[in-house]
Amino acid sequence: MATDSRLAPEEAFAALGNELRVTVLRVLAEAAADAATDDERGLSFTEIYDRVDIDSTSQLSYHLDKLDGMFVRRSPDGYRLTQAGDRVVRAVRSGTYTATPTFPRTELDGRCHACRATTLVAEYRDPLLVVDCTACDTRVVTYDLPPAESVDRTPLEVLQSCDQRVHHEYGMALQGTCAMCGGRTEVSTRTRDPPDDDASTDDASTDGAPGYLCVAACRSCQHEVYAPLEVRLLYHPAVVSFYWQQGVDASTIPFWNVATYLTDWRVDRVSTDPDRFHVTVVYSDERLHLAVDDELAVSVRPPDANDSDA
Ligand SMILES: [Zn+2]
Ligand SMILES: [Zn+2]
């Protein structure tokens, strides 16, 4: 079911284009946070007037009208923030629209999927935090970096935080829900494009590796996350359990080091339309044989004649 928006997007953004109105939203957010009970979360017109720097009640009335309906809601116990108003205040507080993340160039323990070198460097290149291989110039992984995520963390902690967040977002998207907006996602596989270094504004990408991508795209905001099929499978319970039995916790492997584990895997597309894949997971002398269908459902399968060559 769609939600009916009460304002056009340009009207909504225009309503926020005034310092006093943003202050009103912050004042309402503080009142809600300080309230002891739900009944006390709203502020009356007079209470707002006392808390903001404004010359006349008619001026405040004018500005509240601009916010009413979209960012604030009038009720018998006063004015309150709507969900949209609450989100605006959080974005303002966390610097989403006003701050730039800071992140120093940092050498990183990990492995390049293209040349196997361990010369990885992480760097912020607005708007993305990128991990590149300095030996072969391949982009290993990219993350979006909200300004708040770079605060009060060491560079390694920033990277770990981004990695955990993107794992989580990717996992949600693969299960049908966009982490950005909550919209419905569609999951598909596609053949990987040839390497393209200035590519992807998308999370969890590892440019340069051959093969197939597992893509989750949001129908509502069109945010798209993707990773090689092997990366998606590395965090599947069957594969996590396979590694666990050999003393490796695969669930904690960061995206910039998955190449260490994927080197010997084999991926074959065994049919098209719909796509079906046979994947052989390899670690030391052990093997796990998987079948993956076009909806990315995974099952364990017995090895076949092709597998014995692997
Ligand atoms: Zn490399
Ligand atoms: Zn979305």
pLDDT at 308: 56
Q: Residue 186: nearest ligand to its CA?
A: 2
Structural element, H or E, at residue 299: strand 298-300
Q: 201: CA distance to ligand 1 center in Å?
A: 20
Q: Is 18 in the same domain as 78? A: yes
Domain final residue pick, 63, 93, 123: 93
- Helices 83-93 and 19-34 meet at what angle, rounded to 10? 100
Q: 223: CA distance to ligand 2 center in Å?
A: 5
Calculate the CA 64 to chain-centre distance: 34
Q: 50: CA distance to ligand 1 center in Å?
A: 61
Q: 23: CA distance to ligand 1 center in Å?
A: 49
Q: 139: CA distance to ligand 1 center in Å?
A: 8
Nearest to 209 by CA among 193, 185, 232, 225: 193
Instruction: Look up the pTM and report it.
Output: 0.80
Residue 47 lies in a domain: yes
pLDDT mean across residues, the chain = 88
25, pLDDT greater than 80:
yes
Task: Residue 211: give the domain boundaries.
Answer: 99-310
Domain final residue pick, 51, 71, 93: 93
Q: Is 215 in the same domain as 122? A: yes
- Residue 205, classified by CB atoms within 10 Å of its CB into exposed (0-12), middle (13-18) or buried (19+), is buried
Residue 2 lies in a domain: no
> What are the strands, taking DSSP E only, across 99-194?
106-108, 120-125, 128-133, 139-144, 185-191
For the chain, how big is the Rg over CA atoms in Å? 25
Residue 245 lies in a domain: yes
Q: Is 64 in the same domain as 179? A: no
Report d(CA 28, CA 85) in Å as an integer: 9
Q: Is 89 in the same domain as 107? A: no
Q: 295: CA distance to ligand 1 center in Å?
A: 32
Q: Is 129 in the same domain as 278? A: yes
Q: 176: CA distance to ligand 2 center in Å?
A: 10
Q: Residue 179: nearest ligand to its CA?
A: 2
Q: Is 110 in the same domain as 219? A: yes
Using one digit for the tens of pLDDT, what is the confidence trace for 290-304?
A: 999 988 899 999 887
- List, as one string, the DSSP characters of 188-249: EEEEPPPP-TT---STT--TT--SEEEEEEETTT--EEEEEHHHHHHTSHHHHHHHHTTT--
Residue 4 lies in a domain: no
Are 169 and 152 spatial neighbours (Cβ–Cβ below 8 Å)? no
**Which residue carries 């598909």 as its tokens?**
188
Which residues, in sequence order, are CB contacts of 153 under 8 Å at separation 6+? 161
Q: Is 131 in the same domain as 50? A: no
Q: 111: CA distance to ligand 1 center in Å?
A: 8
Residue 291 lies in a domain: yes
143, pLDDT greater than 70:
yes
Using one digit for the tens of pLDDT, what is the confidence trace for 261-289?
A: 998 999 999 998 888 999 999 999 999 99
141, pLDDT greater than 90:
yes
- List, as one string, the DSSP characters of 262-296: HTT-EEEEEETTTTEEEEEEEETTEEEEEEE-TT-
Using one digit for the tens of pLDDT, what is the confidence trace for 63-89?
A: 999 999 899 999 888 999 999 999 999
Q: 163: CA distance to ligand 1 center in Å?
A: 20
Q: 184: CA distance to ligand 2 center in Å?
A: 7
pLDDT at 6: 59
Q: 267: CA distance to ligand 1 center in Å?
A: 21
Q: Is 79 in the same domain as 104? A: no
Domain count across the chain: 2
Residue 181 lies in a domain: yes
Q: 303: CA distance to ligand 2 center in Å?
A: 39
Residue 3 lies in a domain: no
Determine the Cα angle at 211 with ends 220 and 137, to 5°. 90
Q: 40: CA distance to ligand 2 center in Å?
A: 33
208, pLDDT greater than 50:
no
Domain final residue pick, 74, 93, 112: 93
Q: Is 66 in the same domain as 51? A: yes
Q: Residue 134: nearest ligand to its CA?
A: 1
**Which residue carries 């197939």 as its tokens?**
212
Q: 207: CA distance to ligand 1 center in Å?
A: 11
Q: Is 55 in the same domain as 183? A: no
Report d(CA 9, CA 23) in Å as an integer: 21
CATH of the domain at 43: 1.10.10.10
Q: Is 209 in the same domain as 267? A: yes
Q: Is 249 in the same domain as 125? A: yes
Using one digit for the tens of pLDDT, what is the confidence trace for 145-195?
A: 999 999 999 999 999 999 999 999 999 999 999 999 999 999 988 887 655
Residue 202 lies in a domain: yes
Cis preceding linkage at 155, omega within 30: no
